[in-house]
Structure 1
Amino acid sequence: MVWIVQHVSQPLIFGINYVPETTGIAPYTSAMASGLARRGHAVRAIAAHPHYPDWKIAAGYDQWSLRERIDGVDVTRVWHWVPKRPSPLARAFSEVFFGLRQVCTRWGRPTAIVSVSPALLSSALVRLRSLVTNSKTPFVVWVQDLYGLGMSETGQGTGLAARAVRAVEKWLLRSASMVIVIHDRFADRIHGDLGVPRERIAVIRNWTHLAAFPVTDVEAVRAAYGWSDDDVVVVHTGNMGVKQGLHHVVDAGRSAHEKGESVRFVLVGNGAQRDDLVDRINSQPTTTTILPPLDDRAFADILQSADVLLVNELPGVAEMCVPSKLTSYFASGRPVLAATDELGITAQEVRNAEAGLTVPPGDATALLEGAKALVGDRDEARRLGENGKRYKETVLEETFAIDRFASLLADLTAAAAGKQSATPETMIKIGREP
């Protein structure tokens, strides 16, 4: 028989978040995996049971391990401890637990390994095992948030803990074959602060994970939520955590109530700070309300029925992340109000898209006035919304992102294959020898 070498791409993706989670990084990890599968890759993923942003494992997902086939991807779910109150120490323990489950799961023979950060500590454990058992396999870290920077910007880690996290992040990223980041500012930070060579950093932007928005009956949706035509409705979606600083939005609603302003602030989603926000809302009158997470159709409807879409960040948060909600906001065609550091990534993104305006974070009065300013000129609001849609369609485009990811994996796999001998998994029989 004659054998020829055929390198079958078998990427293995490690990520703590995966569908059916609908917020945070889960939609991107899942869409990337299924997109690679549609392009002919034999994709596997090792993920946690769905638990975010509720910080509770979803009903039906309490098995020690579970295998699923989701959109062409073989997904192995592993149970790990999920803290009810995700303090820094609890989250660290949870990530280590998850990382150990990933390390102890069978990997097979992947042609490339992709680890999504967060979670940083589990990614580091995966990297340690890969150096022992898969040292010649390309190892890619896909950075959605900068961990060490996030701890310092939110004040959640100081002293020895912060230095330890920074050291782990630096080692992980410098040891990787390739680091993929979601923004140019992340690339600058990783190169300048952590010493990762430029040639091993690639930028692939996130995209809106929703299908094309359906036509929405705005009047019906607003009526269903009890919003009048005169109400200025400001909607914030996604995680309710420390870095969002949403207590300032509750305060803005309180200011609107005291002034008799018809400005409603609506927080949609869940997260570690939700109960605290409910207590704050119930303590004094405010125009701020909370809605639970919505399905895709209801989510699209509420975005398109709002007057303003809000990104709110804790004062001091500037470089640690690019809010994933922006991609969906831009797709909705509504103007964006960003309460954030003027020099930070979020503000830069809104300016680049010319899709809204920014106000200082932590300032309830500025937040209220910014919302009123955006709706004060309906023609300008419409223009900003259209700019956001155009930016989404030209810069934040899913097909381009997945094609770029596939190309990078192909290059890394081909380079690694050139240094290795063929294995039975990469050889096929083509016929008898003459």
Structure 2
Amino acid sequence: MNITIISNHYYPEDSGIGLYSTGMAEFLAKKHIVKVIAATPYYPQWKIYPEYDKKGLFSTEIVNDVEIFRFKQFTPAIPTFKGRIFQMIHFFIGSFINIFKIKKNDIVIVVMPFTISAILGWLVKTFRGGKLWIHVQDFEFDAAFETGISKKIGILPSVVFKIELFMFNRADFTSTISNGMLNKLESKTNTKKYFFPNWIDHSMINTDRAKPSPLFDSSKFNVLYSGNIGAKQDWDFFVDFVSACQEMNHVQIYLIGEGAKRKEVVESLKQFQNCKYYPPVRYEELNDLLCNADLHVLFQKNAVVDTVMPSKILGMMASAKPSIVTGNEYSEVRHNLEISEGGFYFHQDTKLHEIMGVLKNLIENPEQSTIMGDKARKFVIEKYSIESVLSQFQKDIENS
């Protein structure tokens, strides 16, 4: 098959959507001809990577048998809602030229965000034939309104949701990464839908392969948040948590990542000696980082339900360490943690003292941490291994 993938995020971005779009393309390329239309890499720093910044507006490269057509899009230093909209439009304009570099197509897979990329996919289908598959990694407009990035008033929300609806109804197939998001997709379109979750390469995230991380203090109980420092997380609660942990001299907290809220959050943490910030580690170092933490934390805003399923959860669980997560009562993350018994999930009006109680209990009962971590890892290997998820997806598109 000739497969075209349109994804704003792609290699060498090695976290979030870029990681999964790359993995999908390279897996399919083992059997099919795969071409990718992508943006110039910029995430999570919100700054075009130096090695690509020197290139022209358009560039082409081949990586692991995948041919990649790129356009150097506008990238806002501060990703406001309007800035993101402008970035989407600029990417669309440049990528419109790139779609004519596709000569044959049997199926075009559009990864959302960007929503506007679905129009590009529809044009590929129109000009080159084949079918259109829209895969939703993030309901970007819903997430923007739920997290307060933009207000759900005025003409703009009406326009963007109409565009979203129009494109969903032009697709032959749609898919998304969690059951909650699948339900949301059900409310938006009548097209045929598939469950296509993110996956974990448990050979890469594996305690048996982990070496000591130079970032951690081995004499302390190390609590880690690693990932995007953005609007979906509850950073006020995180700061309160760090403050409450000050009296526990044996606890050290680490914030590792990049994102739109990074400067603001890091500034608010400077007053605390028990919290250290580091920029993202390379993917090759991620295993050592995740597996050497004693506890993972993820504090999400209660308003965010399942417009997005945090992919970092899979890595946290695969590291065989327990997690403490907060968020909405109906989140799929809650379901996964409770079913696996691999961590603690708090929702609605979570009291800080409850989480502090859990933390103290884990410190005093290390055997409980070991048992919970093992259960978490077993769960993600059974449900979200890269082999089973991508093999099933390949079968689905071949039979579509």
- How high is the TM-score relative to the length of structure 2? 0.92
Alpha-carbon shift at residue 84 of structure 1 (Å):
0.2
- Residue 341 of structure 2: aligned partner: 354
Question: Does structure 2 retain, via aligned residues, the 8 Å contact 1:127–1:172?
Answer: no
- Residue 221 of structure 2: aligned partner: 232
Alpha-carbon shift at residue 138 of structure 1 (Å):
0.3
Which of residues 114, 123, 147 is equivalent to 2:109?
114
Structure 1 residue 285 and structure 2 residue 285: aligned? no
Structure 1 residue runs of 5 or longer lacking an equivalent are: 1-8, 413-434
Alpha-carbon shift at residue 260 of structure 1 (Å):
4.1
Q: State the identity %.
A: 22
The 1-side partners of 2:184 and 2:362 are apart by: 33
Which of residues 49, 60, 69 is equivalent to 2:62?
69
SS at 1:101's partner residue? helix
Q: Provide closer, same or farther for how the CA distance between residues 203 and 131 of structure 1 changes in structure 2, counting only shifts above 3 A.
A: same
Which of residues 327, 330, 338 is equivalent to 1:340?
327
179-188 or 148-157: bigger deviation? 148-157
TM alignment of 1:29-428, pairs within 5 A: 29-38=21-30, 40-62=31-53, 63=55, 64-105=57-98, 106-121=101-116, 123-130=117-124, 132-134=126-128, 136-157=129-150, 158-159=152-153, 160-191=155-186, 193-197=187-191, 200-209=192-201, 211-212=203-204, 213=206, 215=208, 220-221=212-213, 224-225=214-215, 227-229=217-219, 231-257=220-246, 259-282=247-270, 284-360=271-347, 364-412=352-400
- The count of aligned residue pairs is 392
Q: Residues 125-168 of structure 1: CA distance to partner in whole angstroms, max 9, x if unpaired? A: 3145236424x420001111122321232122311322322222
Q: Provide closer, same or farther for how the CA distance between residues 34 and 101 of structure 1 changes in structure 2, counting only shifts above 3 A.
A: same
The 2-side partners of 1:286 and 1:248 are apart by: 17
SS at 2:37's partner residue? strand
Q: Provide closer, same or farther for how the CA distance between residues 411 and 375 of structure 1 changes in structure 2, counting only shifts above 3 A.
A: same
The 2-side partners of 1:85 and 1:170 are apart by: 28
Alpha-carbon shift at residue 338 of structure 1 (Å):
0.7
Q: Provide closer, same or farther for how the CA distance between residues 131 and 305 of structure 1 changes in structure 2, counting only shifts above 3 A.
A: closer
161-170 or 325-334: bigger deviation? 161-170
SS at 1:244's partner residue? coil
Q: Provide closer, same or farther for how the CA distance between residues 129 and 338 of structure 1 changes in structure 2, counting only shifts above 3 A.
A: same
The 2-side partners of 1:90 and 1:250 are apart by: 27
Question: Does structure 1 retain, via aligned residues, the 8 Å contact 2:210–2:287?
Answer: no
Question: Does structure 2 retain, via aligned residues, the 8 Å contact 1:27–1:209?
Answer: no
379-388 or 345-354: bigger deviation? 345-354
Q: Residues 397-429 of structure 1: CA distance to partner in whole angstroms, max 9, x if unpaired? A: 1112212221222123xxxxxxxxxxxxxxxxx
Look up the equivalent residue of 2:372 and give its one-letter code: L
Look up the equivalent residue of 2:175 and give its one-letter code: I
Look up the equivalent residue of 1:280 and give its one-letter code: S
- Residue 422 of structure 1: aligned partner: none
Alpha-carbon shift at residue 91 of structure 1 (Å):
0.5
The 2-side partners of 1:41 and 1:210 are apart by: 25
Look up the equivalent residue of 1:55 and give its one-letter code: W
Q: Residues 57-100 of structure 1: CA distance to partner in whole angstroms, max 9, x if unpaired? A: 11110221221111111111211111000000001110111122
Q: Provide closer, same or farther for how the CA distance between residues 164 and 371 of structure 1 changes in structure 2, counting only shifts above 3 A.
A: farther
Look up the equivalent residue of 1:43 and give its one-letter code: V
Alpha-carbon shift at residue 207 of structure 1 (Å):
0.8
| Larger RCO (CA under 8 A, 6+ residues apart) | 1
The structure with more radius of gyration: 1
SS at 1:401's partner residue? helix
- How high is the TM-score relative to the length of structure 1? 0.85
Look up the equivalent residue of 1:243 and give its one-letter code: K
The 2-side partners of 1:65 and 1:366 are apart by: 53
Alpha-carbon shift at residue 364 of structure 1 (Å):
4.6
Q: Provide closer, same or farther for how the CA distance between residues 163 and 287 of structure 1 changes in structure 2, counting only shifts above 3 A.
A: farther
